[in-house]
Structure 1
Amino acid sequence: MSSQEIFRTFIPLGILILCISVFISGCVGTQWTAADWLEKGNQYANEGMYKSAVDAYNQSLQLDSRNSKVYTYRGVALEHMGSYDAAMNDFEQALSINPNESGAWQGKAATYIDTNEYRQAVKAADRAIELAKNPADKAENAYLLRGFALNRLEDYDTALQAFDKAIEIDPKRLDLWQNKAYSLTKLGRFVEVLKCYEVMTGIEPNNAEIWSKKGEIHLALGQINEANEAFSIAKNLIKSN
């Protein structure tokens, strides 16, 4: 066999070996870590795909069973799915690993609200607020949960204090103003309710529902012209959509 024939015979074999080597190294290089699965679970959760999120968190926990945040996030996904007992178990597991996990206390507060245990929700939210040390702890959510539970307990004045604290942290968040407006409405403080809706229409000027509710508050205050103007804006927004 000539040298040229040997060259032609072994080059394909060399390429094959190279391809196999690249394939194997690629597979090893793309092996997912616990952090990868956690990130994927969070992506699913942000898209509202909670079952897929739980599956991803399960994979993460198989690789690292001592990560309190994964239990917390899985608990939140389960809470959204209505699996309240399983969610609470995850929050408790997170807190057994890290008793200072603010997010787990928030998750417990949300789950207590779902199951109409409002006093327990306030206690859990208070603990979350106490532990929130940085923006990542989302203290505004804890204050929101506290206020929401207090509203259900008809303690509207104290609920307002919680919503005001949340608004100090994130003044552009619509749901905070909506809940504050609810408390004020229950207290009959319609002038202050109107101020809330003025802020809300500034945050979402194309939200027809907000304009319509603003019109209702104007009516409650006897401001007929202002009410008609708000209703007209709401009607035009609905037509444009």
Structure 2
Amino acid sequence: MLVIKRLWSTGYNAMAEDAMPEDDVWLEEGIALRRTGRYSQAAEALEKAIAINPGNAAAWRNHAWALCQMDRDEEALASLDKAIALEPMSARTWILRGFALHRLGRYEKAVESYARAIEINPLGPDGRRAWNNRGAALDNLRRHEEAIESYDEALLIDPFDVYAWNNRGVSLAILGRQEEASRCFEKAIEIEPEYATAWRNLGLAYQALHRDTEAEAAFARARELGLE
């Protein structure tokens, strides 16, 4: 949206490298490095791509992604603004911009970025991510009913999105609708039985419903899965 270490060991032969523009060679190397968690090296490779071709929107976007992974969100925003100026109809770039703003606590601006992504592509994987992330930003603004509507849109696109089910449950729990919340967490667990966060949240919902034995079992399962 993995186990490659460097571009040169991923099956690209010399002929393919020669045929590829130099900025794209550095772009592919940066993507490969980012996917293996080598974010600083990825950022450096992507900066080389940008130096060669400042009009490479994908290089700017992936540069921002690597910076986000290093908690350099302000710098990431600058790269995303460059990417958007070059490619304003990229839903993925708007989603990443919303993510960076969200992490910086600028939730209203994050909602705006996710909304723009939805305008561009309301369906498919990008649409699902944008709706789900929009819901999370709205939750941070305490606009929980609107957040639930966003999660519902994400679930219309993908009924098996465990994150949307979990997030929807959290919104409902905050609103005191514990029975509905518990059903959301149960659904997330049905889809992904090892989703520790959903087990913990289910335990909290059961606890609020005074279903103490079930709550303790849910908490125990969350602990087994590594969540304290």
TM-score w.r.t. the length of structure 2 is: 0.80
Residue matched to 2:186: 198
Compute the displacement of 1:189 (Å): 0.9
Q: How does 1:13-32 map to 2 (within 5 A)?
A: 30-31=17-18
Write the deviation string for residues 17-44 of structure 1: whole angstroms up to 9, x where unpaired: xxxxxxxxx9676446433332332222
* Rounded Cα–Cα distance in structure 2 between residues aligned with 1:104 and 1:27: 31
Could you tell me which of 32, 54, 69 is aligned with 2:58? 69
- Superposed CA RMSD in Å reads 2.6
Q: How does 1:157-168 map to 2 (within 5 A)?
A: 157-168=145-156
1:218 aligns with 2:206: yes
* Residue identity matched to 2:111: V
* Rounded Cα–Cα distance in structure 2 between residues aligned with 1:208 and 1:98: 38
* Rounded Cα–Cα distance in structure 2 between residues aligned with 1:39 and 1:140: 26
Could you tell me which of 122, 134, 140 is aligned with 1:152? 140
Could you tell me which of 90, 97, 102 is aligned with 1:108? 97
Compute the displacement of 1:116 (Å): 1.5
Residue matched to 2:128: 140
* Rounded Cα–Cα distance in structure 1 between residues aligned with 2:222 and 2:31: 36
How many residue pairs are counted as aligned between the two chains? 212
The percent of aligned pairs where both chains have the same amino acid is 27
Change (3 A) 1:196 1:35: same
Change (3 A) 1:170 1:89: same
Write the deviation string for residues 34-76 of structure 1: whole angstroms up to 9, x where unpaired: 3333233222222332212212212322343212122112112
Match of 1:177, SS state, is helix
Higher mean displacement: 117-126 or 226-235: 226-235
* Rounded Cα–Cα distance in structure 2 between residues aligned with 1:29 and 1:143: 38
* Rounded Cα–Cα distance in structure 1 between residues aligned with 2:143 and 2:36: 34
Change (3 A) 1:30 1:94: closer
| Higher radius of gyration, 1 or 2 | 1
TM-score w.r.t. the length of structure 1 is: 0.76
* Residue identity matched to 1:199: K
* Higher share of residues assigned helix: 1
Compute the displacement of 1:154 (Å): 0.3
Could you tell me which of 26, 36, 40 is aligned with 1:47? 36
* Rounded Cα–Cα distance in structure 2 between residues aligned with 1:57 and 1:80: 14
Structure 1 unaligned segments of length 5 or more: list them. 1-25
Structure 2 unaligned segments of length 5 or more: list them. 1-12
* Rounded Cα–Cα distance in structure 1 between residues aligned with 2:134 and 2:219: 33
